[in-house]
Structure 1
Amino acid sequence: MKRWAALTTLTAVILTMASPAVAGSNNSGRFDRPRDGYAPKTTLLRDATPAKAGLDPAPIDAALAQVAAWTQPNGTAKPLYAGAVTLLGHDGKIVTRSATGLAVKYADGAGTELPADQQIPMRTDTIFDLASVSKLFTSIVVMQLVEKGRADLDAPIATYIPEFAANGKENVTVRQALTHTSGFPSWLPLWSAQPDPPSRLQMALTAKLQNAPGTKYLYSDLNLIALGELAHRVTGKTLDKLVADGIAKPLQMRDTGYNPDPKKQQRIAATEYQASPPRGMVWGSVHDENAWSLGGVAGHAGVFSTADDLAVLAQTFLNGGSYRGARILKESSVTAMITNFNQAFPGNDHGLGFELDQRWYMAGLSGPRTAGHTGYTGTSVVIDFDSRSFAILLTNRVHPSRNWGSNNPARRAVAQGLALALGVGPRHGKDAWFSGTTDNATTTLATKVAAPADGARLAFDLFVDTEDTDLLYLETSADGTTWTKLPFSVRDRGSVIDTDGSISGSGNRHWQQVTAELGAGEQTIRWRYTSDPLYQGRGVYVDGVKITSSDGVLLDGERTPESFTATGWRLSRR
């Protein structure tokens, strides 16, 4: 779903590069060998180079270069953010930890720069306001209560907060709040509509629904505000205490929590200059006005953290809920948090807390077992369970103004860089034909054949990981000008799918076998990959092309790669 999309496309250097294979072991470093279940609970993070983790360093380096470039203005366009921290992990290894730009740069909302000696460089341990990534912490707290039998996913929230039943909400469940199908409006101006924290919380809890419960997906801060208060009512402890005791302390996330210690201010990234409310440059206090007006602790926003602390949280999920001997969730709870409960709302896949399979910021890492969340301040976390990888990008994109733009291009660049670093191994020989992953492009791979009177059969291996609107077409032409789609059949682990001559989609992450029947005569066979202006998957690979007939083998693509004419496609070893 193309929500909040910036029209900026990723640079070709990130999206189209291929490098020689790098060393790997077993399934590590491979995109086309998805892994089931979870990593061993004993898996601990350690630093390594991308190459030692079985990854291709080149796409990662290109992504980091682009992240750094976006700290600078481009002509009349403002920079996407003042600074950023990128951390990438794969198979228990932190392969990238990089800081660029400035954590504090501006004096006001107009973009007046502070004197150089007052600006603060970004560091890899800079502390960021996570904004809506905080919702994951609230969701974990709720799941911990469910595990203890103190809350029920399918119980009405009003069971725990009686006043929540107001305005027809008596049947809204905990599960609906976690999946944003409660019917709540997306947002209410609590901070300006009410005079104090108790009345603001009351306004959130008693708000009217915009839709009937369970009938529509609508992302809403009010869902998690209600769940944060549910946790408070059930335990008698405030949400910040629950997050500290149930998540941050056991996982030793020392820089994670609400309302950070003022002594840490020099390590905190500034956010926005706010005139209404008149807060000035927000630095060390939560950016979200509603969370701020509730005392800095709320279910939807307020958590501050670092990239390394979030890496521990990501690996905890990859481990099935445990890290360094501390278990914060059962495996069954992790599974529930990354299981799509929104099948009725295509494009809005959501687990019990996590967003799932969202190409608009997960890019090539996206898939049914890819979980993540973004934050309005410019933060994002993507956890790919199939490859046991994660991508963390923390920026201060609202510094000095939220109106300067979106950092979605950077979110996609980082995720795509990691996806391209994960290899797709050829099925035959040393390489396979690769479509590239350039937005708004058409690439073609063609070969000629003369089929006898009784026709011929085309067979090849195919790997497809694309956005649904980015299609691969198999076509044939007698004159090289007029093309007709060539229907083909795809064999996928025992099942056979017949197509009209086109295919797209993601989630399989493995090679499939394709066959098609060719008519008689001289003709050109063409693979044509078309992409729209936004979003990419891992791309299309074609390998082991063979055309046979009653006369024998007419074409063996492995023996004669020179038989192909490639425009935009290239031979790739990974």
Structure 2
Amino acid sequence: MISSDNLLQLEAKLAAEEESQAFSGVVRISNDRQPLFERSYGMATRRWDVPVDVDTRFDLASVTKLFTSVAVLQLVDAGRLALDQYLSSLLDLAGTTISADITIRQLLTHTSGIADDADEEAGESYEALWEDRPNYSVTRTADFLPQFAHRPPNFEPGAGCRYCNCGYVLAGLALEQVTGTGYREHIQSRLFEPAGMASSGFFHMRDAVPNVAEGWDPVHDDEGGIAGWRQNIYSYPPIGSPDGGAHCTAADLVRFMDKLRAGELLSPALTEAFFTPQVTHHHQNDGGSIHYGFGLEFEVDDAGRVRSFYKDGINAGASALVRHYPVAGLTVAILSNSEDGAWIPARLIDEAVQGST
């Protein structure tokens, strides 16, 4: 649990972050499906000074991968896919560098070895992809293929682990092949609606959709102050895909996690597997490691106990985090319409949880 004093301190600190323009977004903390804390901060659009409210929908960036993973696992539960099924049994990979031996499991656990379109762990910029290709031309899942299908793989399937956005693009293509339905339509009808996520969806940047936050990042002057703001409309594709870009409210994101934990979206066996670390990735640059599941990431202590599990997402003009603390029984959702917005609240909440347990 988290104390009322810690929540009051958190509220004051977040208000200060809003005042300094370091945070714009929504924070929600729940326990047993009951909200303990829900506040909104900053501007949903800086062009018109429209404030955020708790029902504002935000771009989740890579948190979207959780929806892709659950939708694929639901097909496994239904017997329409198998985790160890070869991707090549579903998709024609001829003429690409994508191995015929990659499995669905490897796509979901970042162990496929395929090269990403932008290897951010190696310092490549995702935003730079759109300097030579119109971002508005990439709206279907298959439109992503030319960006990575011919790049040399990082390793043989199953021989390593490396975070890979495009593994989820391929998982989305497999889903489309099996269901005969577009990715976004499938997630909307087979996941969002059954899960009671009535406010969630995929919204095109060109469309005037009510209560959807616009993404803005600060432009700094020579002294580090904020000289202005830049919108993210040219930074990535204009509508969500299997690896990122769904929109949610904080309440819907917590609702999704709670229903998943309660076994309402997957079978008991796959629910247990979803909340169990599957592989360990050792970072090459700093010597650290991270535990991956089927989309989730796990914080594990020295005794091997899971302190928290989470998924975060970051893009130009967007950052998000959903996190559950098993011991404290808390589920946290942080949504922001700036690239750096979610991380200070995440640290403050983590410190508050540590101070209460």
TM class by shorter chain equals: 0.7 to 0.9
Match of 1:87 among 28, 42, 45: 28
**How far apart, in 2, do the equivalents of 1:370 and 1:61 lie?**
23
Equivalent position SS for 2:290: coil
**How far apart, in 2, do the equivalents of 1:173 and 1:87 lie?**
36
Correspondence for 2:45:
104
Structure 1 residues 389 and 288, CA gap change in structure 2 (3 angstroms): farther
Count of equivalent residues? 322
Structure 1 residues 119 and 93, CA gap change in structure 2 (3 angstroms): same
**Residue deviations 1:323-349, cap 9 Å, x none?**
xxxxx2112212111211114747220
Match of 2:337 among 393, 396, 402: 396
Structure 1 residues 100 and 245, CA gap change in structure 2 (3 angstroms): same
1:151 partnered with 2:101? no
**How far apart, in 2, do the equivalents of 1:142 and 1:70 lie?**
38
Structure 1 residues 95 and 230, CA gap change in structure 2 (3 angstroms): same
Per the TM alignment, residue 241 of structure 1 is displaced from its structure 2 partner at its CA by 1.2
1:264 partnered with 2:209? yes
**How far apart, in 2, do the equivalents of 1:129 and 1:406 lie?**
12
Structure 1 letter corresponding to 2:166: L
Root-mean-square deviation (CA, aligned residues, Å) is 2.9
**How far apart, in 1, do the equivalents of 2:175 and 2:65 lie?**
13
- The answer to whether the 8 Å contact 2:113/2:156 transfers is yes
Structure 2 letter corresponding to 1:187: D
**How far apart, in 2, do the equivalents of 1:315 and 1:410 lie?**
21
Tell me the TM-score normalised to structure 2 length.
0.81
Per the TM alignment, residue 379 of structure 1 is displaced from its structure 2 partner at its CA by 0.7
1:329 partnered with 2:271? no
- The answer to whether the 8 Å contact 2:30/2:37 transfers is yes
Structure 1: unaligned runs, 5 residues or longer: 1-28, 30-54, 74-78, 108-117, 275-279, 323-327, 360-365, 399-404, 424-574
Per the TM alignment, residue 204 of structure 1 is displaced from its structure 2 partner at its CA by 3.5
- The answer to whether the 8 Å contact 1:373/1:380 transfers is yes
Written as runs of structure 1 = structure 2, the 5 A alignment for 1:484-495 is none
Match of 2:4 among 50, 57, 67: 57
**Residue deviations 1:290-316, cap 9 Å, x none?**
x43xxx241111200101111211211
Structure 1 letter corresponding to 2:202: Y
Correspondence for 1:352:
294
**Residue deviations 1:324-379, cap 9 Å, x none?**
xxxx21122121112111147472201111111179xxxxxx95263211111121
Equivalent position SS for 1:149: coil
Equivalent position SS for 1:123: coil
Per the TM alignment, residue 249 of structure 1 is displaced from its structure 2 partner at its CA by 0.6
1:183 partnered with 2:113? yes
**Residue deviations 1:501-540, cap 9 Å, x none?**
xxxxxxxxxxxxxxxxxxxxxxxxxxxxxxxxxxxxxxxx
**How far apart, in 2, do the equivalents of 1:409 and 1:123 lie?**
19
Equivalent position SS for 2:251: helix
Structure 2 letter corresponding to 1:391: V
Written as runs of structure 1 = structure 2, the 5 A alignment for 1:160-559 is 160-163=90-93, 166-167=96-97, 169-188=99-118, 191=130, 196-197=137-138, 198=142, 200-259=144-203, 262=207, 264-265=209-210, 267-272=211-216, 281-282=231-232, 289=236, 291-292=237-238, 296-320=239-263, 322=264, 328-343=265-280, 345=282, 347-357=289-299, 368=306, 370-376=308-314, 377-398=318-339, 405=340, 407-421=342-356, 423=357
**How far apart, in 2, do the equivalents of 1:66 and 1:154 lie?**
47
Structure 2: unaligned runs, 5 residues or longer: 119-125, 219-229, 283-287
**How far apart, in 2, do the equivalents of 1:69 and 1:92 lie?**
28
Structure 2 letter corresponding to 1:63: L
| Matched-pair identity in % | 22
Q: Which structure carries more relative contact order (alpha carbon 8 Å, separation 6+)? A: 2
Structure 1 letter corresponding to 2:251: D
- The answer to whether the 8 Å contact 1:88/1:418 transfers is no
**Residue deviations 1:18-62, cap 9 Å, x none?**
xxxxxxxxxxx4xxxxxxxxxxxxxxxxxxxxxxxxx41111222
Equivalent position SS for 2:35: strand
Structure 2 letter corresponding to 1:281: Q
- The answer to whether the 8 Å contact 2:33/2:255 transfers is no
